[in-house]
Structure 1
């Protein structure tokens, strides 16, 4: 039976370093940026390009004032905390970055990255919910333990996890920042998946407030008050195309229709995998 990793003072100490005052860096050394790799399990998936550009400009003028926390992984170093600074440093053209090197277990790496992002309010609600779910599923924690870990109430964890009950289309709108967690809670009051999608699309199209969404939710709960939406099944040609691309690219591929648009989604793990995909797709 796998032993649960204790957080204790070790992780608390690391969080102290991750949240150190801007004017008091405590770097162990500097590392070539080419030797540093992102954490594949990083809970934050989306980085605002405008904010990254602003941080990159600041780094060009002032350097990186807070070191990136990393751990040794083979011949390279994996980011534990500070991927946004790493991405901005690459954008700024830095060759080396200040780092704090620590020996941290696989289990605690994700916990630390999640806590850092939560404390900095860097995660969108869906990323936050996915982070909690990963702690529950992969780390064997209870909701009570997750709540203590991130200094939130048990009910807050439960309510955030409920966002994952929303249809994929609605979750995508949240990830894009078009819907807030308040909107999502109102949409969750609608029992059917079709009703939730229709209400979400109406909220985005008309720029409705949370209060307006709450008022409309009962109407979308009663199918007799609105024309039902019949979802078209995924065409067999889409399924065949996705299967062929999965085999050709050796990664998960989805071909689907979202809000009237046909899309192809190709998953990749990191920049090296992306470069490999680009090579495969552009090769004569």
Structure 2
């Protein structure tokens, strides 16, 4: 077991200061070393996704022009080094054709490493609900475990953190309420398919929390019911399904009926089935991307209509 370290994180601006374009800055006392990309690997269970999207393209372009301005933070292990902060920069360096990346090496135990990994990544502007949910859960588990640990330097048993206190620490440091942290963590009970729908904004956050109380079999039935009805549950529908599910009084047929009900907001809505829309979009498009594209095309059509009417 590695020696436990105390961590006090601030913002990246505070940590790294105003890094010049030709050098990577590190906190006072830390040494920046160049480590081959092949010796680095992702933190086990890392919940934050690394995507080849527009932001990644901008990161690659910046690295090609200025280099890596912020060192990654890593810890040594038996297979090289585990990345705690800098997964996206590591991937961008690979795309840019670099062989090494500047890193700060810290010898941390599992709990301290988890807390650092979560806190540093939660500073990102765009975070998916699944990323936040798993990050909160990992940090909460690490804090609870630290409360049960024996301090290896003094041999004394530290004060045990109860669940309420641990939740309060996670919430305070994340700028969230304890209840909201608990609601995010509930999402980790969703199956991957439902979690993806939450990330894609096909299922809203509040209904998703209600659906997280369904067991795996009930969630599978829900997926089939959504396919049957070509609809996603509203908050009221999710609440009704949850109540029936907790009493084991819901079936897939019952879910079909609930999801097939006409929602108030759908009375004047024109809907298209996924199979119809997918024929006109790239396979990689999410429902949100398809919706945004359709709205943009309709706005262009509306503008042309107005111009034509003005000419008449």
Q: In the TM superposition, what is the alpha-carbon distance from 1:6 to its structure 2 partner?
A: 6.9
Residues 111 and 180 of structure 1: is their aligned pair in 2 closer, same or farther, counting only changes over 3 Å?
A: farther
Residue 201, structure 1, aligned to residue 226, structure 2: yes
Q: 1:49 aligns with which of 52, 62, 74?
A: 52
- In the TM superposition, what is the alpha-carbon distance from 1:30 to its structure 2 partner? 2.3
User: Is 1:100 matched with 2:125?
Assistant: no
Name the CA shift for 1:150/1:200 in 2 (closer, same or farther; >3 Å): farther
Partner residue, 2:180? 156
Instruction: Give secondary structure in 2 for the equivalent of 1:140.
Output: helix
Aligned to 2:25: 26
Change (3 A) 1:177 1:35: farther
Q: TM-score, normalised by structure 2?
A: 0.55
The alpha-carbon deviation at position 187 of structure 1 amounts to 4.8
What is the 5 A alignment of 1:1-284? Answer: 7=6, 10-12=7-9, 20-21=17-18, 23=20, 25-27=24-26, 28-44=32-48, 46-50=49-53, 51-74=55-78, 76-140=80-144, 142-175=166-199, 178-185=202-209, 187=211, 193=218, 197=222, 201=226, 205=230, 213-214=234-235, 216-217=237-238, 227-228=253-254
Listed as ranges, the gaps of 5+ residues in structure 2 are: 27-31, 146-165, 257-312
Q: Which has the higher strand share?
A: 1
Counterpart-to-counterpart distance in 2, 1:42 and 1:60: 26
Contact 1:33 1:97 in 2 (8 A): yes
In 1, Cα distance between equivalents of 2:52 and 2:178:
33
SS of the aligned residue for 1:12 comes to coil
| 2:44 alignment partner, SS class | coil
- The number of residue pairs the alignment matches comes to 221
- Give 1:259's aligned residue: none
How much does 1:86 deviate?
Answer: 0.6
Radius of gyration: which is bigger? 2
Contact 1:174-1:180 within 8 A present in 2 as well: yes
Post-superposition shift, 1:169? 3.3
- Whether the 8 Å contact between 1:18 and 1:81 is mirrored in structure 2 is no
In structure 2, the CA distance between the partners of 1:99 and 1:198, relative to structure 1 (3 Å rule), is: closer
Query: Residue 129 of structure 1 contacts residue 161 of structure 1 at CA under 8 Å; is this kept in 2?
Result: yes
Aligned-partner Cα distance in 1 for 2:239–2:101: 54
CA contact (8 A) 2:11 2:123 kept: no
CA change 1:21–1:213 in 2 (3 A) is farther
Cα distance, 1:157 vs structure 2: 1.0
